[in-house]
Amino acid sequence: MRTGDNSNKELWKQYDWQFHQSLIKACGSKNLLAIHDIVYKKYLRYQMQIVTFRGDSAAGEHKKLFEAVLNRDIISAEKILRQHIEEGLKHSLEKFQEYTTIRPF
């Protein structure tokens, strides 16, 4: 995806979902897991339409989030996850706006 090849976008999003799901799986809350699944799939539907990919910034957020979770640093993990979600939404909304804007000839 970093090179502009979008042919494996479904696989890329599957790995992204698995990463996030694995981070919250140990919580033991079936409700949280179900809510995450619903929200993620709704968000994914729009991402797949416009093929958004944030590249290195998202990968960096994943790395920081993974490290915070391994270190059991809840405060940092929450901060990083909040930033990751907000930046992902901002990026997707910008791309969606570009995608849906009708440009004059």
Helix extents (H) in 1-105: 9-25, 30-50, 56-70, 74-100
Average pLDDT over residues 4-8: 68
pLDDT tens digits, residue range 52-93? 667 788 889 999 999 999 999 999 999 999 999 899 888 888
**According to the model, what pLDDT value does residue 8 have?**
73
Q: Are 97 and 51 in contact (CB under 8 A)?
A: no
Percentage above 90 pLDDT, the chain = 26
**According to the model, what pLDDT value does residue 104 have?**
58
Q: Answer yes or no: is pLDDT of 105 > 60.
A: no
pTM, 2 dp: 0.73
